[in-house]
């Protein structure tokens, strides 16, 4: 049973996911837990498969002791994908990242 956090707001861009017993995701999670430091080799294909199925770039950042995975949205890849999709529209002139510009000398921008 999921617990309710004291501060009701989840960590940005992360989810805790527990796969159902008997699922491929659960098997992969168990294999990753047993692999210890080599867990990433087991988790990468699972993250790739999930990403392709839901069409959102994902990464698995860790496995918990409760056989859960911490799933994160790959924000950089998502922004690139969004930019590509928007640029294909005939009603959009251009799309670019909203960079935060800072002066090279460390002073205040004028």
For residue 35, what pLDDT is reported?
Answer: 87
pLDDT 10s digits, 24-48: 999 999 999 888 777 888 888 999 9
CB 73 within 8 A of CB 67: no
At residue 81, what are phi and psi to the nearest 5 degrees? -60, -45
User: pTM higher than 0.85 for the full model?
Assistant: no
Binning pLDDT at 50, 70 and 90, where does residue 19 land? very high
pLDDT 10s digits, 52-74: 998 888 888 889 989 999 998 88
C-alpha pair distances (Å), 96 with each of 13, 59, 81, 89, 103: 22, 24, 12, 14, 20
Binning pLDDT at 50, 70 and 90, where does residue 84 land? very high
């Amino acid at each position: 049973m999921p617990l309710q956090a004291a501060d009701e707001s989840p960590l940005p861009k992360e989810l805790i996911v527990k796969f159902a017993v008997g699922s491929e995701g659960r098997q992969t999670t168990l294999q990753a837990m047993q692999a210890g430091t080599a867990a990433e080799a087991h988790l990468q294909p699972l993250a790739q498969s999930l990403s392709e199925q839901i069409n959102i770039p994902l990464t698995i950042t860790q496995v918990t002791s409760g056989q859960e995975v911490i799933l994160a949205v790959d924000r950089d890849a998502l922004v690139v994908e969004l930019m590509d999709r928007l640029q294909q529209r005939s009603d959009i002139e251009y799309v670019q990242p909203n960079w935060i510009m800072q002066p090279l000398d460390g002073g205040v921008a004028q």
